[in-house]
Amino acid sequence: MIGEEVRNHFPILRRTVNGFPIVYMDSAATSLKPVEVIETLVRFYSAHDSNVWRSPHVLGAESTDAFERAREKVARFIGARPRDLVLVTSTTDGINRLAEMLARAKKSVMCTVMDHHSNMLPWRTRFRRFHLCRITSEGEIDVEDFEEKVKKADVVAFPMVSNVLGTVNDVRDLAERAKDRKKIVVVDGAQGVPHMPVNVSRLEVDALAFSGHKMLGPHGSGGLYISSELRDELKPVFSGGDSIKSVRLRGEDIEIEWMEPPHRFEAGTPSIANYVGLGTAVDFLSRYIDDCLNHERRVLRRLMEFLEDAKIRYLGPPLERRCGLVSIAVPEPDRVAYTLAKYGVCTRAGHHCANPLHDFFNVSATLRFSLYIYNTEREMDYAVTVLDQVLSRTKERAVRYVPPEFPSFIRQEVPCTSCPYRDLCNWDTVVAFCPYVPGFVRRRLSGRVTRHEVAEAVEERKAKG
């Protein structure tokens, strides 16, 4: 089981916002970075910085060795061989490269309504025929429609986990259905690889793309797994240094001899330090990955129970079929997210690069909470309390939820008349998180304390010095 000690590895969690601790619940956008990764980047640039494969001096050798060892670590993390892993800058980069290569020989593709734009637009803009698989009202792939649309496509693309719904798809089952019809299967692993054990050799997929920055690694790092069967059919999209063995002059032309994979797909100087940092991130994450999904569900359960009790609409399946992510349909999600942020609760509002999915559910935007290994149940208690205060003011109702042990780390003494957080209060009440009245909060779990009572408490405190 993942304990709170993991938080000690993330220095950014020591920050406060307006006197409140950072409660980071936006990991689907990007994860926080452990100190081990930060130190790896500093150490690389301080002691080993050089280009790879090009220089015979000691710095060049050390840089190349660190770079290739990182490839081996990342490949092992997803159950692949190093020669099957192309190092890319992001999931988006990997899918665009693959779509460009496949579009030279293939004509039709199928995606799903739940796909992120990055696993939809690269295919839609390059293939002549584009098919979209429906999803169910619970936010899961419609298997019957999947079977029907697969017949029409050369390439089948779908996400391992939806970045809006949190749906954890049965990748192996879907891949087998497509492979039975000899289709090329491409999986967007951006929200899956960071949160659960993955072994590509058992998934029956031809390609899998993922981002390093969502799995504790640096920005500008990621991977594209390509099976050996598919890899041999592909010609590089980019060419240049390091992608070729030789270029020879032949009259008024040149003769090109390509490098062996994966280097033939990695033209130019790579983001060396970022990939080395990703190797360190994988070392760190490997200690927790087996329990990661269960941990996220344990923490998310508290929010899900609140949403169901309050009859607040959320998108996607029940907790047992989702990862630690939920998107909720509330009025003015941007305003709610902004107000949460004033209390240190970091979420995201918008369409999350999935407009078609929001169109399907007939909502323009949602508020998303997305968790990771560093989130705790205590944090969720706090986040749910603040969320309830925001929604309470909108609906003109009293506080519904107060956790059994309200966080004791809130300490900020300002009079109500000048309180920068007054917008969260009902006009004639002080909500449960008011730092002036923790005693009232504990005694009155109904959540309503009048401003008159607060004024008395303030005067009493002043009198006592």
Per-residue pLDDT of the chain (465 residues; tens, 9 = 90+): 888 899 999 999 999 888 888 999 999 999 999 999 999 999 999 999 999 988 889 999 999 999 999 999 999 999 999 999 999 999 999 999 999 999 999 999 999 999 999 999 999 999 999 999 999 999 999 999 999 999 999 999 999 999 999 999 999 999 999 999 999 999 999 999 999 999 999 999 999 999 999 999 999 999 999 999 999 889 998 888 778 888 999 999 998 888 888 989 998 899 999 999 999 999 999 999 999 999 999 999 999 999 999 999 999 999 999 999 999 999 899 999 999 998 899 999 999 999 999 999 999 999 999 999 999 999 999 999 899 888 876 543 333 333 333 333 333 333 444 444 445 444 333 444 444 443 333 333 334 445 555 556 656 666 765
- Could you say which of 353, 419, 425, 434 is catalytic? 353
Whether 353 is catalytic is: yes
Residues forming CATH 3.90.1150.10 domain(s) in the chain: 4-30+288-464
User: What are residue 348's DSSP bridge partners?
Assistant: 368
Q: Are 217 and 276 in contact (CB under 8 A)?
A: no
Condensed to tens digits (0 to 9), the pLDDT of residues 294-305 reads: 999 999 999 999
* Residue 111 parent element (H or E): strand 108-112
If one counts every other C-beta atom within 10 angstroms of the C-beta of residue 219, the result is 16
Condensed to tens digits (0 to 9), the pLDDT of residues 348-406 reads: 999 999 999 999 999 999 999 999 999 999 999 999 989 988 887 654 333 333 333 33
CA dist 308 to 315, 328, 345, Å? 12, 11, 21
If one counts every other C-beta atom within 10 angstroms of the C-beta of residue 124, the result is 13
CA distance 324 to 153: 32
Buried/exposed 64-89: b ≥16 CB within 10 Å, e otherwise: bebbbebbebbbebbebebebbbbbb
Nearest Cα residue to 433 out of 324, 356, 334, 340: 340
* Fold classification of 4-30+288-464 (topology level): Aspartate Aminotransferase, domain 1 (3.90.1150)
Q: Using the structure block, give the residue that is written with the tokens 């930060």.
A: 38
User: What are residue 21's DSSP bridge partners?
Assistant: 16
Angle at 185 between CA 182 and CA 190, to 5 degrees: 175
Residues forming CATH 3.40.640.10 domain(s) in the chain: 35-285
* Residues sharing a CB contact under 8 Å with residue 116, sequence separation 6 or more, in sequence order: 159, 163, 188, 190, 352, 353, 354
CA distance 111 to 136: 15
User: What are residue 135's DSSP bridge partners?
Assistant: 141
Q: What is the DSSP string of 218-259?
A: -TT-EEEEE-HHHHTT---SS-STTSEEEEEEETTEEEEEEP
* Fold classification of 35-285 (topology level): Aspartate Aminotransferase; domain 2 (3.40.640)
